[in-house]
Amino acid sequence: MGKRSRLAALAAVAIIAAACQSGATPKPTPDLPKEIGAGEGALNLVIWAGYAERGEVYPEFDWVTGFEKDTGCKVATTNMTDSNNGVSLIQSGAYDGISASGDATTRLIAGGYAAPVNTALFKNYANVFAGMKDLKHNTVDGVNYGVPHGRGPNLLAYNSDVITTPPTSWDSVWEDGSMYQGKISIYDSSIYIADAALHLMTKQPDLKITNPYQLNQAQFDAAIALLEKQKANGANYWGSYSDQVSQYASGDVVTGTTWQFQVNLLQAEGAPIAAVLPDEGSTGWSDTWMIAKDAKNPNCMYMWMDHMMSAEANGQATVFFGEAPTSQQACDYAETISPGHCALTNATNEAYYDKIWYWSTPQADCADADAATTCKDQDAWVAAWTALRGG
Partner 1 sequence: MSTPTDARAGPGTRPGIARRLAIWLHPRQGLQLRLLLAGPLGWLAIAYLGALAILLLNAFWEKDAFTGRVEPFAWTLNAFRDLFGHEVYRTVAVRTLIMAVLVTLTDALLAFPIAYYMARIATPRVRAMLVIAVLMPLWAAYLVKVYAWRTILQGNGFMEWALSPFGVESPGLDEIANSWLVLSYLWLPYMILPIYAGLERIPNSLLEASADLGAKAGATFRRVILPLVFPAFVAGSIFTFSLTLGDYITPDLVSDAKFIGNVIYDNSSLGNLPLAAAYSLLPIGIMTVYLLIARRLGAFDSL
Partner 2 sequence: MVESRAVRIALRVVSVFVMTFLYLPLVILAIYAFNPSRLLVWPPTGFTLGWFAEAANNPAISVAVVNSLIVGALATVLALILGTLAAIAVHRYSFFGRQTISFFLVLPIALPGVVTGIALRTSFVTFGIDFGLFTIVVGHATFCVVIVYNNVVARLRRLPRSPEEASADLGADMWTTFRRITFPGLGTALLSGGLLAFALSFDEIIVTNFTAGAGTQTIPMWILAAIQRPTELPVVNVVALVLVTFSIIPVYLAQRISGGAAAGVSR
Sites of contact with partner 2 (CB under 8 A): 1-3, 42, 44-46, 49, 56-58, 74, 76, 78-79, 91-96, 240-243, 245-246, 249-250, 265, 269, 271, 296
The partner in contact with residue 56, picked from partner 1, partner 2, none with C-beta cut-offs of 5 to 8 angstroms by kind, is: partner 2
**Site size toward partner 1, by CB under 8 A:** 38
The partner in contact with residue 79, picked from partner 2, partner 1, none with C-beta cut-offs of 5 to 8 angstroms by kind, is: partner 2
**64 or 194: CB nearest partner 2:** 64
Q: Contact with partner 1 (CB under 8 A): which of 91, 160, 202, 373?
A: 91
The partner in contact with residue 74, picked from partner 2, partner 1, none with C-beta cut-offs of 5 to 8 angstroms by kind, is: partner 2
Q: Contact with partner 1 (CB under 8 A): which of 44, 159, 230, 247?
A: 247
Q: Contact with partner 1 (CB under 8 A): which of 249, 274, 337, 344?
A: 249
181 binds partner 1 (CB under 8 A): no
In the complex, minimum distance from the CB of residue 187 to partner 1, in angstroms, rounded to a whole number: 14
In the complex, minimum distance from the CB of residue 297 to partner 2, in angstroms, rounded to a whole number: 9
| Segment contacting partner 1 by CB under 8 A, of 68-76, 135-143, 247-255, 320-328 | 247-255
CA atoms of 226 and 237, how far apart (whole Å) = 15
The partner in contact with residue 210, picked from partner 1, partner 2, none with C-beta cut-offs of 5 to 8 angstroms by kind, is: none
The partner in contact with residue 302, picked from partner 1, partner 2, none with C-beta cut-offs of 5 to 8 angstroms by kind, is: none
**107 or 307: CB nearest partner 1:** 107
Q: Contact with partner 1 (CB under 8 A): which of 71, 159, 190, 230?
A: 190
In the complex, minimum distance from the CB of residue 107 to partner 2, in angstroms, rounded to a whole number: 17
In the complex, minimum distance from the CB of residue 35 to partner 1, in angstroms, rounded to a whole number: 30
Q: Contact with partner 1 (CB under 8 A): which of 30, 55, 111, 339?
A: 111
Would you say 255 and 184 are in contact if contact means Cβ atoms under 8 Å apart? yes
Q: Which residues contact 374 (CB under 8 A, 6 or more apart)?
A: 216, 364, 365, 366
In the complex, minimum distance from the CB of residue 317 to partner 2, in angstroms, rounded to a whole number: 16
CA atoms of 279 and 167, how far apart (whole Å) = 9
As a residue count, the chain comes to 391
| Segment contacting partner 1 by CB under 8 A, of 63-71, 87-95, 267-275, 319-327 | 87-95
The residues that touch partner 1, with contacts defined as CB under 8 A, are: 81-82, 84-85, 87-89, 91, 107-108, 110-113, 190, 236-237, 239, 243, 246-247, 249-252, 361, 363-364, 377-379, 382-383, 386-387, 389-391
